Amino acid sequence: FYPIPMFELSSPLLGRGGIFHARIRTTEAFMLRAVKYEARLKQYAINKHNRRFRSWAQQRVRQYRLATAVTITTDPGLMDAAYLAAAIQKAASLRKHDVALWRGFTGRLMELIEEIPPEHIGYVLWGYGKALYLPSNAKEVYLALFDRARVLLPQLSSHAIMATLWTMKRVQIQPHKSDLMEFAKHVMERRDSIRPTDFCK
């Protein structure tokens, strides 16, 4: 029987055993676990604290969804106004940035612009604002959407009104000043029915 030298306790031949590993490595592992646990606690606290400061657009995804079951890859030429609005909203909420997809939506939208009902115009505008799709005729498209919303203004919900204003600000296309004043006047007249959660942050 030969005594094993101390420097061989942590050698590869003897694995991870020995006094060195038992005393030093255990303490190191404990400290690492404590640091990781503290980091998880901090991240949980940060997420919980910031939960109410999520972006306005993200709140729309969580709170407002069209119940229509749609497939966004359906031929836009076969879509009616309601189906198109639901497809646009779904594509935006899923962050689909396929240019060909949005080009097809836009072409069909321009054909059906006068048929979009007041309960769907807000979802269409939100979808375009969220996707930030800017075609070559972006100004024409967004002003046409804004004009349609302005025609339907008395029938628009709080969500649709704020979605309209949020989208125009996001794409940085300025409607005529008198049209914006009309929106502002309408909001002031309906201020008691405008929900605080619909305010654009």
List the pLDDT tens digit at each of the 201 positions of the chain. 444 444 444 444 445 555 545 555 667 777 788 888 888 877 776 666 555 555 555 555 555 667 778 889 889 999 999 999 999 999 988 888 889 999 999 999 999 999 999 989 989 999 998 888 888 888 999 999 999 999 998 888 888 888 888 888 888 888 888 888 888 888 888 777 777 666 654
Confidence at residue 2, expressed as pLDDT on a 0 to 100 scale: 46
Confidence at residue 200, expressed as pLDDT on a 0 to 100 scale: 55
Taken in order 38, 44, 49, 53, the sign of the CA dihedral is positive
Confidence at residue 16, expressed as pLDDT on a 0 to 100 scale: 53
What gap in Å lies between CA 57 and CA 154, rounded to an integer?
23
Confidence at residue 41, expressed as pLDDT on a 0 to 100 scale: 73
Confidence at residue 65, expressed as pLDDT on a 0 to 100 scale: 67
Do the Cβ atoms of 126 and 167 come closer than 8 Å? yes
Do the Cβ atoms of 183 and 165 come closer than 8 Å? yes
What gap in Å lies between CA 140 and CA 173, rounded to an integer?
10
Overall size of the chain counted in residues: 201
How far is CA 178 from each of CA 140, 150, 153, 166, 172, rounded to the nearest angstrom? Answer: 18, 11, 14, 18, 17
What gap in Å lies between CA 93 and CA 86, rounded to an integer?
11
- What does the block give as tokens for 160? 């649709």
What gap in Å lies between CA 146 and CA 153, rounded to an integer?
10
What gap in Å lies between CA 88 and CA 162, rounded to an integer?
18
R_g (Cα) of the chain, nearest Å: 28
- Characterise 70 by phi-psi region: left (phi > 0), alpha (psi -120 to 50), beta (else): beta
> In terms of DSSP H, where are the helices of the chain?
19-20, 26-50, 56-63, 81-93, 99-112, 118-131, 138-151, 158-171, 177-189
What gap in Å lies between CA 4 and CA 68, rounded to an integer?
75
